[in-house]
Amino acid sequence: MPDGQPRGGPLEGEDAKLVTLARATRARTGAAQGAAVRDTDGRTYSAASVALPSLRLSALQVAVAMAVSSAAPGLEAAVVLSAGAEADPDGAAAVADLAPSAPVYAVDERGLLPG
């Protein structure tokens, strides 16, 4: 598990704040996923998944796009929150484009890492 975060438990420190942002965004929009990223300047970006007939993006892809469009110099960490704590390979690839070593955490609706 990256950064020594506990398997099957909650994220800690600054990463726990990303969970709070992802959960709030998902709840507000009713989307399947919520995500949040933190850039190397400490700014955060949260987003929900987009499911339109002409456009489908994961929440993590949207959060990364928001960071890039705000001229983020890089990313420190990312969280994607969904019912089953599913991994988001496309979103993780977008994070890796900016920061290959940044951890990407998939958490469930309670904010817990898979056990």
**Whole-number Å distance between alpha carbons of 83 and 76:** 24
**What's the residue count for the chain?**
115
In one letter, which amino acid is 20? T
The per-residue pLDDT for range 50-65, each reduced to its tens digit, is 999 999 999 999 999 9
**What is the residue-averaged pLDDT of the chain?**
92
Query: Cβ distance 77 to 53 under 8 Å?
Result: no
For residue 94, the model assigns a pLDDT of: 96
The neighbouring-strand residues paired with 65 are none
**What pTM value is reported for the model?**
0.90
Task: Count the helix, strand and coil residues of the chain and give each as a percent rounded to the nearest 5.
Answer: 35, 30, 35
**Whole-number Å distance between alpha carbons of 77 and 83:** 20
| 16-107 topology per CATH | Cytidine Deaminase; domain 2 (3.40.140)
Domain ranges in the chain?
16-107
